[in-house]
Chains A and B, each alone.
Chain A
Amino acid sequence: MKCYKCGSQLTDENMCLKCGADVTLYKTVVKASNAYYNLGLAKAQLRDLSGAIESLRTSLTINKNNIKARNLLGLIYCEMGDIVEALSEWVLSKNFKQEKNMASSYITNIQSNQGKFESVIQTIKKYNQSLKYAKGGNYDMAVIQLKKVVALNPKFIKAQQLLALLHIKEKEYSKAKKCLNNILKIDKNNTVAQRYLREIGLIEDISTKDVSESFLPRRKVKDLNSIPLRGNDVYLPPTTYKEPSNGAITVINILVGVLVGAALVWFLIMPSRYKGLTNDYNKSIVEYSEKLSSGNVELNTITKQLQDVQAERDSLTKKVQDISGTDGNNKLLIALIDSANAYIANDKIKAAESLVNIDVSTLPSENAKALYNTIALAMPTVANDLYTLGTTSYYKNNFTEAADYFARSYKLDSTKVDAAYYGAKSYEKLEQVDNAKKYYQYILTNFPTHRYAAEATTYISKH
């Protein structure tokens, strides 16, 4: 024991040997505090934690420097789930006595197990939340939270008490009793738990009494086996069959279950899956077919265009050949040049006959057409000259030469009906019927009203 004034160690004397203070009363007070500590310790050893807390609180009220009492109080709080209260007591204890204090080891022990400490702190937060729910009338939520709290920290007395109260409210007395018994395992003389248990006992007694003391006659439980059978009753004999329950049957049942599951998957799920895949494939095929068809159409269009282009190319090639080849404009120009040469050489017959096969409209240039027209002015004169030569040959009975002259004359001047007539007569003399008919036909076609037409008709009809 230390002096309350100077802190020096006291002896059996009623006076401090260092400062001379009277410590008689102080010693009495400290002894009283220690007595309450001893009482609290005894209660704690008997797991009367509520009673121990009461004694230790009294001890600390008398002497707040009673370190042992404070440390024990912290331990009891810790045991009841109030870890923060426990820490508070230990911190105060350490503050009063920093050396050789068990509180230091308790704090260190808690700090070293941080995970567990966090878990306990969370349970306290949940308990407080549950209390809010319960006070707010949200009992279901409160019960759910409290069940979690007591599962994590079964020694949390306050949570067990609140959960028991909520179970009592819901008339779930067996659950409430379970919570209360848990409390009494930790704190044997917990007054709240004992009161609740007594109340539950009273409620259960009343309900039992209600049934037992009812003035109505109790229902008789009918024993079916004792009722005699009547005519329409069907008697089912009691069966002796019992479900097998050994391990092999269980394994077989599991295997059968697995097989049934696999069969269900195979016959119900897989076909729909395959069907889905088939539909996807069919859609893809349709899409590709459409693309192929459009491609074919495009190919046909391009082929047709190619054919058109080739035909156009052939046509243009032919035109080019017609124009540039010996059968084209070149031929016309060559014939015109030959005619011009003959004309210059004063051979008018040759000039005219070269010119007769040229179509003036097809000549490629205006100069060529002008030259043609110049030479063509001589053609009627040449036709007359040839006709005269033909007449001379005709009267000399040289019909071959005559026919040639008349044919050339008619060719140069198609209005010269006499040339055609005597050409026909010359061929008639030569007995060349086809040529004769050809010239008679010219007369009938081009000069149907001429006097030679009747003779021409007669000859054609006879031959």
Chain B
Amino acid sequence: MINFDDEIKKFQPSLEVEEAEDAIYNNDFPDVTDIINKIINKLSDK
């Protein structure tokens, strides 16, 4: 059975235009290539 209270908690507000700028700036997370690059740089430093 669907538990309405649990289900409603899963819904999140949709991103509005005013929040777009923050969303773009906060998107700068490292990907796998960044991690590999860091590992290679560390190895070469050694």
Which residues of A are at the interface with B, using a C-beta cutoff of 8 A? 4-5, 21-22, 25-26, 29-30, 32-33, 60-65, 81-82, 84-85, 87-88, 91-92, 121, 124-125, 127-128, 131, 134-135, 158, 161-162, 165, 168-169, 195-196, 199, 202-203
B45 within 8 A of A: no
- The reply to whether A85 and B15 contact each other, CB–CB distance below 8 Å, is yes
- The reply to whether A158 and B15 contact each other, CB–CB distance below 8 Å, is no
- A-B contacts besides A85-B14, A202-B1, 13 pairs, CB < 8 Å: A4-B33, A25-B36, A26-B37, A29-B36, A61-B32, A81-B14, A84-B15, A84-B19, A87-B20, A92-B27, A135-B8, A165-B8, A169-B4
- The reply to whether A128 and B16 contact each other, CB–CB distance below 8 Å, is yes
Asked whether A60 and B33 contact (CB < 8 A) given A87-B20, A161-B11, the answer is: no
18 contacts between A and B (CB under 8 A): A22-B40, A25-B36, A29-B32, A32-B32, A62-B33, A64-B29, A64-B33, A82-B15, A84-B15, A84-B17, A85-B15, A87-B20, A88-B20, A91-B20, A158-B11, A158-B14, A165-B8, A202-B1
Can you name the residue of chain A whose Cβ is closest to the Cβ of B10?
A192
- The reply to whether B2 and A91 contact each other, CB–CB distance below 8 Å, is no
- The reply to whether A84 and B16 contact each other, CB–CB distance below 8 Å, is yes
Secondary structure of the B side of the interface? helix
- Digitize B1-37: 1 where CB-to-A-CB distance is under 8 Å, 0 elsewhere: 1101001100101111101100110010101111011
Which residues does chain A contribute within 8 Å of B15, judged by CB atoms?
Answer: 82, 84-85, 88, 124
Which residues does chain B contribute within 8 Å of A165, judged by CB atoms?
Answer: 2, 4, 7-8, 11
Which residues does chain A contribute within 8 Å of B7, judged by CB atoms?
Answer: 165
How far, in Å, is A239 (CB) from chain B's closest CB?
50
Taken together as a complex, chains A and B put the C-alpha atoms of A169 and B16 apart, in Å, by 27
Which residues does chain B contribute within 8 Å of A168, judged by CB atoms?
Answer: 2, 4
Taken together as a complex, chains A and B put the C-alpha atoms of A135 and B13 apart, in Å, by 11
How far, in Å, is A404 (CB) from chain B's closest CB?
143
Across the interface, A29 reaches (CB within 8 A) one of B1, B16, B33, namely: B33
Can you name the residue of chain A whose Cβ is closest to the Cβ of B30?
A64
Across the interface, B31 reaches (CB within 8 A) one of A22, A61, A125, namely: A61
- The reply to whether A196 and B33 contact each other, CB–CB distance below 8 Å, is no
Can you name the residue of chain B whose Cβ is closest to the Cβ of A120?
B17
- The reply to whether A82 and B1 contact each other, CB–CB distance below 8 Å, is no
Across the interface, A91 reaches (CB within 8 A) one of B11, B24, B29, B37, namely: B24
Which residues does chain B contribute within 8 Å of A196, judged by CB atoms?
Answer: 2
- The reply to whether A26 and B36 contact each other, CB–CB distance below 8 Å, is yes
Give the 9 A-B residue pairs with the shortest CB-CB distance, closest first. A64-B31, A84-B15, A128-B13, A62-B32, A199-B2, A124-B14, A88-B23, A169-B4, A84-B20
Which residues does chain A contribute within 8 Å of B4, judged by CB atoms?
Answer: 165, 168-169
- The reply to whether B8 and A30 contact each other, CB–CB distance below 8 Å, is no
- The reply to whether A26 and B20 contact each other, CB–CB distance below 8 Å, is no
